[in-house]
Amino acid sequence: MLRRIGLVVLICIGGCADALLVPQEAYEVKVKADLRKFQSYSAFYYMETGRYGSFEQVLEAVGSEADSDLYWAWDGHADAEPDGGYFFCEIAGGPGGGPLDRRVRTGLCAYPAKPGVTGDYIYCVLADTSALDAMGSPEEFGFVSRGEEWKMVRARYKDIGGPPRYWPSEAQLKEKFEVLEGISPEEGLRRARAAAEEYEKRK
């Protein structure tokens, strides 16, 4: 069992509301907060194992009870339920096909449960340290020093035809996706708290 670092803090991040009562803008605030939470959870997992984990591994490591809404909105469940108007899918395939190399990459995407109603965009949070590893970055620098390798991107649902299951190619990232920001795990956690508060105000 991995150490449940920061679990008490992470339990408090987020929120939920009836999908019929919340406008698209609030859904988007919520979904970006959820993605930042996954980023923070992944940081803990990486520090414990030296690699990234699948969505299920990461949520089990911190305890799925820490974020049951996010856990059950993952479309890997047969009976998944949207959280804030969105489902979540993990990027399980690499950029050239085949399984994702979790030593250097991880990604989670959120897509609207009802495109055009609960949202128009697909949001993804991506971490890619492959360039740093290729340069031989010392492992003792650890995950946190690689925080700049995290990005949040978005693409219009209609432009990519549905939730991505494979790592986007460089061409796809340039042509279809908009880079919203690059943030460290610590900054992601801080913004997740702020976004959760904003979401509660808009409910």
pLDDT digits (tens, 9 = 90+) for 35-89: 988 988 888 888 888 889 999 999 888 876 667 888 899 999 889 999 889 999 9
Average pLDDT (16-34) is 69
The backbone region for 68, taken as left when phi is positive above 0, alpha when psi lies in -120 to 50, beta otherwise, is: alpha
- Cα separation, 203 vs 192, whole angstroms: 16
Question: What is the pLDDT at residue 113?
Answer: 94
Counting Cα atoms < 13 Å in the Cβ hemisphere of 64 gives: 10
Question: What is the pLDDT at residue 129?
Answer: 81
Average pLDDT (197-202) is 64
Question: What is the pLDDT at residue 28?
Answer: 87
Instruction: Note every long-range contact of 52-55, with CB atoms under 8 Å and residues 24 or more positions apart, other chains counting.
Output: 52/102, 52/103, 52/104, 52/105, 52/106, 52/127, 53/102, 53/106, 54/90, 54/92, 54/102, 55/88, 55/90, 55/108
Residue 15's pLDDT band, with cuts at 50, 70 and 90, is very low
Whether 167 has a pLDDT exceeding 90, the answer reads yes
Within 10 angstroms of residue 34's Cβ, the number of other Cβ atoms is 29
Whether 6 has a pLDDT exceeding 50, the answer reads no
- Cα separation, 145 vs 147, whole angstroms: 6
Question: What is the pLDDT at residue 150?
Answer: 83
- pTM given for the model: 0.74
